[in-house]
Every structure is written in structure tokens, then in C-alpha cells.
Chains A and B, each alone.
Chain A
Amino acid sequence: MAQDFQAISGARFMDPVVLARIGNLELVARAVVDGFINGLHKAPYFGASVDFAEHRGYVPGDDIRRMDWRLWARTDRYYIKEYEAESNMNFSVLLDCSKSMDYGSKGITKFDYARILTACLTNLVHHQRDRVGFVAFDGEVVEHVPPSAKHMETVLHVLDRLKPGRPGNNLKEPLHKLAEHFGRRGVLVVISDFYEEPEAVLDAVSPLRFRGNDLIVFHVLDPTELEFGFSDAQPFEDLESGEQMPVVPDAFREEYRSLVKAHIDALAQSFSAVRVDYTMLDISKPLDHALYRYLGSRAKMMKAR
């Protein structure tokens, strides 16, 4: 699948392993989304489709080609047959490119991991004939690629040249701005390490849903951030703020772990409450497994619904 993008610099983020694993899956919008082309996602409009929705009485102006003549023969009334429309969707990835994302203890940084995730999801969605867009933000919006069926390559280029560098300890401002830009309903994927209080995160992210967007949140963390596996007492510097403080890991570890776990749990619970898919990704684990598991479970949920 990735061979189409061999010439594109950003194609390197499309990990063949990941793509091979998720290639037979679909990212389907859980909510109805706007679209012009028939696709996988339920459209907010009735239209030309194969899925029957309902009958309604004929009103002048209706297309007589949609008249249910069989019903007219039985009831002698004119009914219009309506079908559920399927559309393509706007798919945008909102990637946190703040300084804290440029961290990795196992050879790959969270930002690189997120870029691979972005590329793979974008590629997947692009092949569903959905429109792909991309937004990078830290304290403010850094890059913005509007959703389009033709923007796959642009997204990959932007991904390639993007570098995390500035602090981004305020999710609210960029995300609130972005919420106003997504006029059409679509699928929004937010990828970040969410180093803010769960309430603040939720407050920052929630407006993205207001237009009826389907919101997926990926929380990427390094295993060190989860386990705090340091040994020597050393000064630690906050990548975002530059603040330094002496830390004795042995003494800190247990409490740190419990704080991080509480944070993750709070986020999961908060997002769950507002029907936002929340997935925590450990960047030490293969992306293909994590993504496969997420997409698979999402598909099941969709079917169940």
C-alpha cells in the first residue's frame, strides 16, 4: 500500500508493518458525517443509496423516480421511498507537536510514534476515499492542511518537515480555535501526551465535538513516563517549561506511577463519558498491534450499535 508514496518524503512514516496489519480494517465514522461521495459513513442526508430508510408521503417537487409504485398499487397513495445516504468524510488528525512530545527513551520519540500513527491512519482513510486533513499544534496552530481527497501527499510532506520545538502547555487555545474551523462533521483524531489536568484536557477537546465531529483521542506516552524507571538521583528538566528540580527516582517512583495511572484513568473516564474514543499508546509497544486492537474494537462497537 505504501509503494504509491515511495517518492514522498513523509512516506517513511507509513510503517509497512503497521499498514499491513491494519490494511484490511476500516476507520468508520461512528457518527454521521458530511460527505459528497458515497462512502462508508452514514450521511446526514437521505439520498441515493441501497439502504432503505423510510417511506414518506409525496409532496410536489419530489423526484417521481423515487416514488414507490408498488405501494401506490396497494394503497393508491403516493409514497416516496427514502434511502440512507452514505458519504465520504472529512478526516483530520490534530497532532500535538509541543516540546514534550520530543521525548523517547527507547530510540523513538513520542512525536515520531505519533507521526507514524498519523501517516498510517491518514493512509487508511485516504484509501477509504475519505478526505484527509492535518493540523499540528503546540501552544497554537502550527500547521493546517484542510481535509481533501487530494491532500494525502501534502499531509505526508507536512509530517516530514514538522519538528517539535516549542512548549505547548495549553491545549485549550489551539483546539478551541480549531473547533471553529471544522465546519463539516467528520472524524477528528487528536494525538497528544495530554500533560494537563483531565478537566482541562476535556475542556480543551470537547468543543471539537460540538459540530458533531467524531472524536478519537490517542494518548501517547513513553514507558519511562509510565514507569519512571530512573535510578540515579539527578536533576530533571521539564521539556516544556525548562524548569529544573532535583529528583530521587527511587523515592518518587511509586507515587509517580500512581499519579500517572490516576491521570490516565481520569482521562479515560472523562472521554468515555462524552463518547470520545480514548486510547493510551505506549510507544515501546508496536504500533500495529495497538492500532489493530483499537480499530478492531471500534468496528465491533460499530456493529453492536
Chain B
Amino acid sequence: MSFLAPLFFVALAGLAIPVLLHLTQREKKQIVHFPSLMFVRRIPYQSVRRRKIHNWLLLMVRLAALALIVLAFARPLISHEAAAPIGAGSREVVVLLDNSYSMGFGDHWQRATSAARDQFAKLSASDRATLVLFSSGADIQMRSTSDKTRFNAVLDTVKPGDAATRYSPALKVAGSIVAESTLPRREVVIISDFQRGGWRGEEGARLPQGVTLTPIAVQGAADRANLSVTGLSMARSTFSNQERLTVTAVVTNRTERPVSGSNIALETGGLPVANKSLNVEPGGSASVTFDPVTISSKNFKGTVRLADDALNADNSFNFVVSPSEPVRLTIVDRGNTDLYLSRALSIGEAPKFESVSRQADALSDEDLRRSAVVVLNDVDVSTGLARRLTKFVEQGGGLFVATGPRATWPQDVDLLPATIGNPVDRTRGDAGRIGSLEYGHPVFAPFRAPRSGDFSSVPVYGYRNLTAAKNAQVLARFDAGAPAVAERRVGNGRVLIWGSTLDVTWSDLPQRSVFLPFIHRAVRHLAGYTEPQPWVTVGQVLDASVAPRGASVQRVVLTPSGRRLPIEDEGSDVVELSEKGFYELRGDNNQAMTVVAVNVDPVEADLTPIDPKEIVAAAMGGSTEGEGAQPNGIPLTPEAKEKNQRLWWYLLIAGILLLGVDTLVSNRMAKT
């Protein structure tokens, strides 16, 4: 044991105070006035009595209390090496190495791997170590081995990835490894640049009791220039029947150095098409707008790229766009009765609707093939047509059925979400109203907010008495309780039935403001239309099922690094996007069906560090911090050790408690 402030031991001289107090305290009580001390003076016993310790217990308590307090102020510390018996036990060391893309900043990665090598070099023959690379997830590279050569070999191969930092998954993995270990000394070493963005609170990442967590921070060199493209905005326009795209990039300077004259380029199809120069203030942002480029093909790939700097991973930003594709639908009616419907569908840019009208007997297979949605607008459906429509729906098509006075459906074809009953005449008395809506459904979700469209004010003078099928979902009901709108999933497609007409013969709905959004939402929903995302972030997943309907069952995902990931028929049709760049989902003929642009998380580009103690405190329950070594492996200074151990705190409490005991004892003695 050693002391940080041994000079405080001078205060031990204060131990004489209680002795003196003990000898004099009684005499210094309230003075008794006595007529004459003539006789008292003659008694010799007094002088002996004064110099005698009356109560050894009280004296000892006081001395101990003062000694403890002095000891506390001397700031004692127990050196770890001395405290631990030699050969106290083998160690289970888990090295968590941050390989998020921010580790590529400057020489951070080299320093990090060097620190990891140091950790492995310190292993004894009986020690075991585990190497875990972590970013947004945690990947165990080598588990519980003492083979230093293999560790070094692994460290030679690993490189920073493209993911962002998250500490919690790594700590959880480390916790599970050390929890299973039977070795007596368990340590976790976390080597990272400790970005604040990676720490979102404790999140249950608590290490088991007795495990020490040692942070090794690789930080610094913040004065080096580092720009990052944090986002893009894209505006489409049409010129000479060609869609053009105007790209605006937002560039942020994360460092304290101003950047001037830096080059930024727009690449399409891997070739630079435009260059710009930009100036960015320290900690500021700037936007650069490039000249419009023509979207020449589907899955048009583009990249905005900055010149190299200290951290290159955040210098490029990818995107994929395709020419706008309309949602095609076929309206089946009796001829020229789709005025309101076709007018409503003619409005809209994203997406555009492209509709054709057919009479029921004229609906061809080609019409069905090119249509995403078929609308049956109050028509008599034959069994044959019904079967073709069933097949169409099962393959992923959408069917919208409006049931007017003429609508029929063959009973032997089970496709509709409701059976069509007799017409209900509400021309006499109060008109029918739509009483309840399922606002949670995508079709009606836009009407959830107040003043977002009122269906209940739409009078309906006639409707068909629908009876919902078992596996159908009723989305709206008339005031009398009959279903107004019902939906059913059949195969890969959906069927939606509306209990009244889409013209003004039975209701005023086509003349109301809710009609257009209702039709648009219904068609988009039935067509399975989703807004195309120009890019996603590393760590997100690619849903391989986004492949177009009817595509080959054998699909492959081509990663930016050129790996081919086959997509199984069953099960995992989800691919985690772990690299930045372009992922391509390809079919049998090796044609790209879908291209996804993946970018790094811009949050990771912010290198603002967090105090590693915060993570250590959270992981170790806030009571203990890692001790023994500094981030670079150098033994902790005595001050740091003492701060970690905090022995003075316990000594001070013990001293104060003893003073309390002293008070109790002396009070009791004063009473007796």
C-alpha cells in the first residue's frame, strides 16, 4: 500500500488531541463554585487522578476515528500488482476492436491494431483471448485461444468496414464470452475511437461481476481536413420526353480546419460527368448543385465523390434512380361509365397512373399481363373472367370491384372479400353514410388526422348488401352496419371491394374531395407501389422479395466487393447490406433486376469522442472502472489507481462512524 498524500500523516500528531481531551475534558466542564478548597487542597490523590486515562475504550475509539480520517486524507492506494498474488490465475481476455469506417481516419486503424497486438503479446501460456470486431454488430474473429500467431495473422487481414459504431452489441458479446469462461481473471479490452454517436445509453450492455473493462482510445489528429457528403437531394424534370435529374449534395466539414477549393464530382455509371469546387467553414456545411443529368435507363447509378482526405469512407455518396414508371391499370366497365374514375386517375405524378378501359368481354390476357390493377366498375362478371382474374390476383395483381346495380360475381369463384347481396335503396328517408373507417389500413391512413377528409358526410343512396368473407378485412362500414369497403389477400395479390358505384348514380362520392385520394390510395395499395429509395444505409437489409413479379426463382445478390450471395427459395431472402456501393439483385439471366445504392451512415463521420469512462461505468454498473493499465498499456499513474480504488472514501466513512460511536459512548458514560 502506498499513499498519494503522505504529508497528511503529519496530522497524526493530532492524535494527541483526544488524549489531552480525555485527560482534560472532564475538568473543563462547568465550574463548581465551592466555599473553600481548604480541605480539597490537602488531598494528594487529585494530581494522580488528572493524569490517568479514565476510559480506554473511549480513547481508543477517538484515536481510531482520527487515524482513519488522517489515513483517508493521505489517499491510500493498493497497487494492483502487489495486491494480486503471483500467479493468481489465468486470464480470459476479450479484445473488442472497433472496425467501423471512422477507424479509417488517419492512422487510427494502425494504432488500434497495434494496441490489440500489445494485448495479445501480454498473454501468458495459460491465458486465453478472444478477438471481436465490432461496428454496428459484433463479429467474433477468434475465440478463447492463446495462439498469438493466429491473432496477429487475423489482425493483418482485418480492415475497417463501412458500418457505424455501436458499443452495446460488442459489450453484450464480450459479456457472454466472459460469462462462460471458467478462468479466474476476466478482462475485456475495448479498442475504439469512442465516437459519441455510437453510444446510445446502456441498452443492457452490462458486463458480469468481477470483469474489468479497459478502454483503449485511439483518437487525435482532429486538425486534419475531413469532409463528408451527408446527403443528397434530387429533383426530377422532363426535357424532350426524357427525365432529367438535378442532384444537390450537402457537404459537411467535421473538423476545425476550413476547407477551400476542394473538388467534388458527380459520377454516373462510374464516369465523372461534372466537377465542382467548394469551400466549407470549420464545423459548417455547404451544398453543391450539379447540372441536370438525363436518367437514361432503369437503375441509373450515380455517385457524388469528394477528393481524398483523412477519412475517405464518407467521401462518396451513391444513389440509384430509375425513370418514373406509371402504375398501369385496366378499367372494366360497360363503356364510357368511368368518367370520374379515369379523371381521378389522370391526375398524379408520383406515381403516374396509366389506365385503359375495356368492356368485360374484351379484356385480354395481354391487358392483364401489363396491368398492375384491374378495376371492375359495376360489371357483370362471367365465370371465365372471374377465373382469369383469380389467376391474375394470385400472381400479385390487384383487383378493385365497385358494386353498382349491375355488379355480379359467379358464386363458384372464391375471390372477392365479400359476397354481393341485394341492393339497398336509401333514396327514401336519410341517405346512407359511411359510419366507420379502418384508419390503420394504408388506404384510409391519410384520412386519420382531423380535417383530412370526411367520408361520413358523403351521402350514399344505394349500395349492395355485402357479406364479408371469413378471411377478409372490413375497412369501412355503412351506417346500417353493412361492409362498405373490404379487402382480401389472395395469393400474392389483393382484392378490394367497394359496396357502391364509382359514379354518381348511387352516391355523391365521386364529387367529394375524398374521392381522388381514396382512389389513388386504393390503386397504389393494390398495385403494391412503394416510393423508390435512391439509397439506403449500411446496416440496413435488402429485401430480395422486391424483385418484380414473375421473376425467376433463382436469384443472386452481387455485393459491391463482387461477392455473389445466392438467395434461397425459402427462408432468407433478406441480405444485410454491410458494404457501401451498389448491391445488385440478379436473376437467372444475370440481368440486374434491382440495384440498391448503399451509403455509410453519415453519423459515423462525426468523430466527436465520448469519455470512455461513461461506457465503462455503464458496462460495469457505474461502480468500478477498468484499472491496471492505461489505453496504451502503460501502467496507470498512482493518481488514476487511487481514483479507481477510492479507498479513502471507505476510510472516511469508517472514521465518521467511529466518531458516531464515540458520541454514543461518551453520552452514555456522561449519564452514568
A-B complex: 7 closest residue pairs judged by Cβ atoms? A246-B27, A100-B35, A195-B36, A259-B39, A233-B26, A103-B35, A238-B37
Cβ-defined partner of A246 (8 Å) among B35, B36, B38, B50: B50
Tell me if A244 is interfacial: C-beta within 8 Å of chain B: yes
Inter-chain contact B31/A252, CB cutoff 8 Å = no
Inter-chain contact A245/B26, CB cutoff 8 Å = no
Within the complex, the shortest CB–CB distance from B213 to chain A, in Å, comes to 59
Inter-chain contact A235/B40, CB cutoff 8 Å = no
Residues of A within 8 A of B42 (CB): 259
| Also in contact, A240 and B35, with CB within 8 A (given A247-B46, A252-B43) | yes
| Also in contact, A237 and B34, with CB within 8 A (given A251-B45, A256-B39) | yes
Tell me if B241 is interfacial: C-beta within 8 Å of chain A: no
How far is it, in angstroms, between the C-alpha of A251 and the C-alpha of B36 when the chains are bound? 18
CB-defined interface of A232-259 with B at 8 Å, one 1/0 digit per residue?
1111111111011111100110011001
Residues of A within 8 A of B49 (CB): 233, 246, 248, 251
Inter-chain contact B40/A247, CB cutoff 8 Å = yes
Inter-chain contact B46/A245, CB cutoff 8 Å = yes
How far is it, in angstroms, between the C-alpha of A260 and the C-alpha of B42 when the chains are bound? 11
Inter-chain contact A234/B36, CB cutoff 8 Å = no
Residues of A within 8 A of B28 (CB): 235
- 18 A–B contacts, CB within 8 A, in A order: A103-B35, A193-B35, A195-B38, A196-B38, A234-B29, A236-B37, A237-B31, A237-B33, A238-B36, A239-B35, A241-B37, A247-B40, A247-B46, A252-B43, A256-B40, A256-B43, A259-B43, A260-B39
How far is it, in angstroms, between the C-alpha of A14 and the C-alpha of B372 when the chains are bound? 131
Task: Please name 6 further chain A to chain B contacts, defined as beta carbons within 8 Å, in addition to the given A233-B26, A240-B36, A243-B37, sorted by A numbering.
Answer: A195-B35, A236-B31, A237-B32, A248-B26, A251-B49, A263-B39
Residues of B within 8 A of A (CB): 26-43, 45-46, 49-50
Inter-chain contact B32/A246, CB cutoff 8 Å = no
How far is it, in angstroms, between the C-alpha of A172 and the C-alpha of B455 when the chains are bound? 126
Q: Which of B41, B46, B50 has the most CB of A within 10 A?
A: B46
A101's nearest neighbour on chain B, judged by CB, is B35
Residues of A within 8 A of B26 (CB): 232-234, 246, 248
Dominant secondary structure at the A interface: mixed
A252's nearest neighbour on chain B, judged by CB, is B43
A274-299: which residues lie under 8 A (CB-CB) from chain B?
Answer: none
Q: Which of A235, A239, A240, A256 has the most CB of B within 10 A?
A: A235
Tell me if A265 is interfacial: C-beta within 8 Å of chain B: no
B25's nearest neighbour on chain A, judged by CB, is A233
- A to B contact number (C-beta, < 8 Å): 91
Tell me if A230 is interfacial: C-beta within 8 Å of chain B: yes
Residues of B within 8 A of A199 (CB): none
Cβ-defined partner of B45 (8 Å) among A100, A193, A255, A260: A255
How far is it, in angstroms, between the C-alpha of A255 and the C-alpha of B46 when the chains are bound? 12
How far is it, in angstroms, between the C-alpha of A251 and the C-alpha of B33 when the chains are bound? 18
How far is it, in angstroms, between the C-alpha of A243 and the C-alpha of B42 when the chains are bound? 14
Inter-chain contact B46/A246, CB cutoff 8 Å = yes
A256's nearest neighbour on chain B, judged by CB, is B39
Tell me if A203 is interfacial: C-beta within 8 Å of chain B: no
| Also in contact, A235 and B39, with CB within 8 A (given A248-B46, A252-B46, A255-B45) | no
CB-defined interface of A162-197 with B at 8 Å, one 1/0 digit per residue?
000000000000000000000000000000010110
B29's nearest neighbour on chain A, judged by CB, is A234
Within the complex, the shortest CB–CB distance from B523 to chain A, in Å, comes to 102
Cβ-defined partner of A225 (8 Å) among B30, B33, B35, B41: B35
How far is it, in angstroms, between the C-alpha of A233 and the C-alpha of B24 when the chains are bound? 10
Residues of A within 8 A of B31 (CB): 234-237, 244
Residues of B within 8 A of A193 (CB): 35-36
A240's nearest neighbour on chain B, judged by CB, is B36
Residues of B within 8 A of A256 (CB): 39-40, 43
CB-defined interface of A192-232 with B at 8 Å, one 1/0 digit per residue?
01011000000000000000000000000010110000101
| Also in contact, A235 and B29, with CB within 8 A (given A251-B49, A255-B45) | yes
Cβ-defined partner of B34 (8 Å) among A239, A246, A251, A255: A239
A245's nearest neighbour on chain B, judged by CB, is B37
Inter-chain contact A233/B27, CB cutoff 8 Å = yes
A197's nearest neighbour on chain B, judged by CB, is B38
Cβ-defined partner of A234 (8 Å) among B32, B39, B43: B32
| Also in contact, A245 and B36, with CB within 8 A (given A233-B27, A235-B29) | no
Within the complex, the shortest CB–CB distance from A232 to chain B, in Å, comes to 6
How far is it, in angstroms, between the C-alpha of A163 and the C-alpha of B518 when the chains are bound? 114
B48's nearest neighbour on chain A, judged by CB, is A251
A230's nearest neighbour on chain B, judged by CB, is B32
Inter-chain contact A235/B32, CB cutoff 8 Å = yes
Residues of B within 8 A of A259 (CB): 39, 42-43
Residues of B within 8 A of A235 (CB): 27-29, 31-32
Tell me if A131 is interfacial: C-beta within 8 Å of chain B: no
Q: Which of A239, A244, A247 has the most CB of B within 10 A?
A: A247
B49's nearest neighbour on chain A, judged by CB, is A248
A255's nearest neighbour on chain B, judged by CB, is B43
| Also in contact, A100 and B29, with CB within 8 A (given A248-B49, A255-B43) | no
CB-defined interface of A85-125 with B at 8 Å, one 1/0 digit per residue?
00000000000000011010000001000000000000000
Cβ-defined partner of B30 (8 Å) among A224, A234, A255, A260: A234
How far is it, in angstroms, between the C-alpha of A248 and the C-alpha of B26 when the chains are bound? 9
Residues of A within 8 A of B46 (CB): 245-248, 251-252
How far is it, in angstroms, between the C-alpha of A238 and the C-alpha of B28 when the chains are bound? 16
Residues of B within 8 A of A248 (CB): 26, 45-46, 49
Residues of B within 8 A of A238 (CB): 34-37
A262's nearest neighbour on chain B, judged by CB, is B39
Within the complex, the shortest CB–CB distance from B36 to chain A, in Å, comes to 4
How far is it, in angstroms, between the C-alpha of A224 and the C-alpha of B35 when the chains are bound? 10
Residues of A within 8 A of B38 (CB): 195-196
Residues of B within 8 A of A232 (CB): 26, 29
How far is it, in angstroms, between the C-alpha of A234 and the C-alpha of B27 when the chains are bound? 5
Within the complex, the shortest CB–CB distance from B443 to chain A, in Å, comes to 94
How far is it, in angstroms, between the C-alpha of A256 and the C-alpha of B43 when the chains are bound? 8
Residues of B within 8 A of A243 (CB): 37
Inter-chain contact B33/A103, CB cutoff 8 Å = yes
Within the complex, the shortest CB–CB distance from B266 to chain A, in Å, comes to 98
How far is it, in angstroms, between the C-alpha of A243 and the C-alpha of B31 when the chains are bound? 11
Within the complex, the shortest CB–CB distance from A28 to chain B, in Å, comes to 33
How far is it, in angstroms, between the C-alpha of A195 and the C-alpha of B28 when the chains are bound? 26
Q: Which of B27, B32, B34 has the most CB of A within 10 A?
A: B34
